[in-house]
Structure 1
Amino acid sequence: MPTTKLPALTGARWWAAAAVFVLHALVFLPVYPFQKSELFRVIHDLVPMQQGAAGVTFFFVLSGFVICWSFRHGMSVRGYYLRRLLKIYPTHLVAALVLILVVAVPLTRPVAWLPNLMLVHTWVPRWTTLGGLNVPSWSLCAELLFYLSFPLALPLLARIPRHRLWWAIVGMIIAILLLHTGFHLWTEGPKDTANVFAVRLLPGAVSPEFEIHVSPQWFAQSDIPIPASYWLSYLFPLSRLPEFYVGVLAARMVAEGVWRNTRLATPLAALTLCYAATWLVPINYKMSALLIAPMAAVVATLATRDLAGISGINSTRPMIWLGDISFAFYMIQFPVMVIVTRLFIGGRQYSVGGWALWTTVSLAASILAAAAIYHGIDKPLMRRFAHRPPPDRRTAPREGHSAINALTKP
């Protein structure tokens, strides 16, 4: 019987987190005059926002896969919700607290920080709440919706017969493309193929002491509108919900033997081609829509390789450890960059060498901080309060590890 552990999926999480980090290092480390140079413009053209967005798309699809794969028959919904909340909120709050301690967050103005702490800030299209405090936490608003919806959607998903799983996942991807087409045609915002996300530069050639999203000027602003098409296609949780269920359907396909491919080269080649195509399409498509299908294929293939006993670099111990700390790394990297800016960058001038130096320092410090959060907070909390129930041997599926398979058994 194949193992239910999927180490390659854990290790692969690191590559997604690293892709996000590289983009954030370019955007959130205010290194002047480097960021105002022609060299920076060339680098930013080669590392556009869709690189970080690709990492987020991977996490969203992977979330659906892993949640479906690990949800056992007989597991209480209350226990499931407790585990999901404990997995998100403690790390999120630690990262937010670090920022509150090192920047001038106006605690007397709750709109600048309370929606972020509660993880509801992406439901309203205003940069006042979207872009303040720990910027990467926006994706957790979508994750919360995913987790809350899953137990409610399971009975419906369980009705999809095995021989129609391909139709279901293709239909889901087509629906996503149609949704983004609607955003492009009927909502306000950029319509061309340019990458709209860029560094927000301040006057002068000396590096500022604050990254713009945590500066006193940012927190003081009453309202900052955001283009509707960008908000709906990238940040709005309901728009990202189908990506999660593509991952859920992919988990069913692997567990029930519908997806059997173990050759990683093909889905990686498809992902590379779709990523290259993001330079040629409008913003509504480049941030996630084009990448969902190949991302699901990569996730499914990695899982199938694990089940077949095929090892690779993602299954090695160092990669699994990096994958384990990847969520904490994702959450703490921006606060670390803010601290590095306050202590070492602000008030000074650096070229590309200075940017490379402080990026390396930020990477090392983020890994150390993430390890401390994971081993000191996340693991102890999960061990103490979120024990998984043993599988029900009478009803657990014999092949794979599908929640929907288990639900459909008598």
Structure 2
Amino acid sequence: MTAPADVAAPAAALPSVRARLPSLTGARWWAALAVFVLHALVLLPAYPFQKSELFRRIHQDFLPMQLGAAGVTFFFVLSGFIIYWSFRPGSSTRAFYRRRVLKIYPTHLVAAAAFIVVAAVPVGRIVLWLPNVLLIHTWWPKWTTVGGLNVPSWSLVSEMLFYLSFPLALPLVRRIPSRWLLAAIAGAGLFILALHLVYFLGFDGPRGIANAFAPRLVPGDTSPPAELHASPAWFAQPDIPVLRSYWSSYDFPLSRLPEFYVGVLAARAVLEGQWRSTRLVPALMAAFLAYVASWVVPIDFKMSALEVVPMAALIATLAARDMRGLGGVSSSRVMVWFGEVSFAFYLIQFPVMVLITRYVIAGRRFGLLGWLGCAALCFALALAAAAVIYHGVDKPLMRRFARAR
């Protein structure tokens, strides 16, 4: 199985040796860190802090749900950018799929196994873990499956769809004239906004613009032994419905597919000279303003729709800077290492939080400083575990099996 001959692009557009992009590798860390900060805030049940007015103000006014969602949007757009950047004309489709599966599944399975152990998941109830392990669980609008196991793994279902579709859609992507690439990116951004508008108008869900309040609180001011997503009460429920508008706009893999192809188009734009800007400040400001705008729109638009095109501009700018040797903070050796372990860090963070909740937080009382200490402990352990997974599992497997012998 090889890519069809008609997908080959001119050599000038697809050079055989492309520039390394250390800034994008390092930038992955900042996105993973945003997800961690949000998760540490809402998934560490440090009582009475999580029940205080201070917590509500911090969560709703300064660190809302869309903070972590912005990191996921960055990952999705970056995924499309890197996949196109690294793809070679004539490459074997089978080899492409093998590399993608090797990059995703081993780390995912390690994190899933860790969660099953630390959360004492009842493995006899297959619906809780098998859809998650197979990475098919967000195709159904049921929290029994969507949130049944390691919470961050929901995004991997979309990633697997991205990878499956890429060799099939590549001929269509290549047929877009180079001069239309930026217009195509803008058009994709408008399509995403229109799609979310359809979900907003057509399905039940919140209509207000207030930031979502996420913690699932239980009675009492003493910290419980587990956050709801990792508690026996959660695992015992026969079914947990979700708001259809929220699931459709955020979790449903087909809804996130355009974000991946915005990244693909951005990679083409950089490679073919349609995006030349190396000015980082305007790109950062565009992403920041899109994030600020999320405060004044309904939740269907808060979590990704406003930020896709600004994220693409930021990623394209970082890549253009790397091509010109400009570099920056994210391209340093230390930041590149953080970026390399960021995928494992992203997946292992919640199992670590469940572990710390069970053995450190449970049965105790914590204020703001206590929560900060628990979050710092989770950060240190998750980073150490991520380094072990990356160097002990990911790299050896990729080195041994990523290429046909």
Distance 1:371 1:330 in 2: 12
2:50 aligned with 1:35: yes
Q: Give 2:55's aligned amino acid.
A: F
Which residue in the other structure is 1:13 paired with? 28
Partner of 2:219, secondary structure, is: coil
1:218 to 225, 234, 254: 234
Q: Answer yes or no: is 1:347 the counterpart of 2:373.
A: no
Does residue 133 of structure 2 align to residue 147 of structure 1? no
Instruction: Give the corresponding residue for 1:406.
Output: none
The AA in structure 2 aligned to 1:217 is A
2:64 and 2:212 in contact (8 A); partners too:
no
Question: Which of 180, 203, 215 in structure 2 is aligned with 1:199?
Answer: 215
CA RMSD of aligned residues (A): 1.2
Local SS of the residue matching 2:26: helix
Question: Where do residues 237-316 of structure 1 align in structure 2 (5 Å cutoff)?
Answer: 237-316=253-332
Contact 2:78 2:263 in 1 (8 A): yes
- Could you tell me how far apart the structure 1 residues matched to 2:148 and 2:270 are? 40
Residues 1:103 and 2:95 are matched in the alignment: no
**Inter-partner Cα distance in structure 1 for 2:119 and 2:24:** 36
Pairing of 1:10-89 with structure 2 (within 5 A): 10-45=25-60, 46-89=62-105
Name the SS for the 1:387 alignment partner: coil
C-alpha distance in 2 between matches for 1:325 and 1:382 = 14
Judging changes above 3 Å, is the alpha-carbon distance between structure 1 residues 163 and 388 closer, same or farther for their aligned structure 2 residues?
A: farther
Residue of structure 2 equivalent to 1:174: 190
- Give the Cα separation in 1 of the matches to 2:139 and 2:371: 34
CA contact (8 A) 2:59 2:213 kept: no
**Equivalent pair of 2:222/2:365 in contact (CA under 8 Å):** yes
Count residues in correspondence: 389
Partners of 2:303 and 2:327 lie apart in 1 by 31
Does the residue aligned with 2:75 lie in a helix, a strand or coil? helix
Alpha-carbon deviation of 1:107? 1.1
Q: Identity of paired residues, percent?
A: 63
Q: TM-score, normalised by structure 1?
A: 0.93
Distance 1:152 1:256, change over 3 A: same
Q: Which amino acid aligns with 2:269?
A: M
Q: Which runs of 5+ in 2 are unaligned?
A: 1-14
In structure 1, C-alpha distance between the alignment counterparts of 2:374 and 2:238, rounded to whole Å: 32
The correspondence for 1:91, drawn from 97, 102, 107, is: 107
Amino acid at match of 1:21: F
Structure 1 equivalent of residue 130 of structure 2 = 114
The 1-side partners of 2:189 and 2:115 are apart by 38
Residue in 2 aligned with 1:328? 344
Deviations 1:281-322 (A, max 9, x none): 011111000001110000000000000110200010110000
Find the aligned partners of 1:5 and 1:202 in 2 and give their Cα distance: 49
Shift in Å, 1:120 = 0.6
CA deviation string 1:336-385 (max 9, x = no partner) = 00001111000111111110001000001011000000000000000000
User: How does the TM-score come out when normalised to structure 2?
Assistant: 0.95
The reply to whether residue 381 of structure 1 matches residue 404 of structure 2 is: no
C-alpha separation in 1, matches of 2:295 and 2:132? 31
> Equivalent residue for 1:361?
377
Aligned to 1:185: 201
**3-state secondary structure, aligned to 1:289:** coil
Find out whether 1:161 has 2:177 as its counterpart: yes
Look up the SS of the partner of 2:306 in the other structure: helix
Unaligned runs of 5+ in 1: 390-410
Work out the CA distance in 2 between the residues paired with 1:209 and 1:224: 21
Matched to 1:30, the amino acid is: P
Q: Report the Cα offset of residue 197 of structure 1.
A: 4.3
Following the alignment from structure 1 to structure 2, what is the Cα–Cα distance between the partners of residues 353 and 388? Answer: 52
Taking the aligned partners of 1:110 and 1:64, their CA distance within structure 2 comes to 33
Give 3-state SS (helix, strand or coil) of 1:376's partner.
helix
The offset of 1:108, in angstroms, is 1.1
Alpha-carbon contact 2:152-2:347 (below 8 Å) kept: yes
Comparing 102-111 with 51-60, greater Cα deviation is found at: 102-111
Which residue number in structure 2 is paired with residue 403 of structure 1?
none
How far residue 388 of structure 1 moved from its aligned partner, in angstroms, is 8.2
Counterpart AA for 2:245? S
The structure-2 alpha-carbon separation of the partners of 1:388 and 1:245, relative to structure 1 and needing over 3 Å to count, comes to farther
**What is the SS of the residue equivalent to 1:246?**
helix
In terms of mean alpha carbon deviation, does 189-198 or 105-114 score higher?
189-198
**Aligned AA (2:34):** A
| Cα gap change, 1:18 to 1:369, in 2 (>3 Å) | same
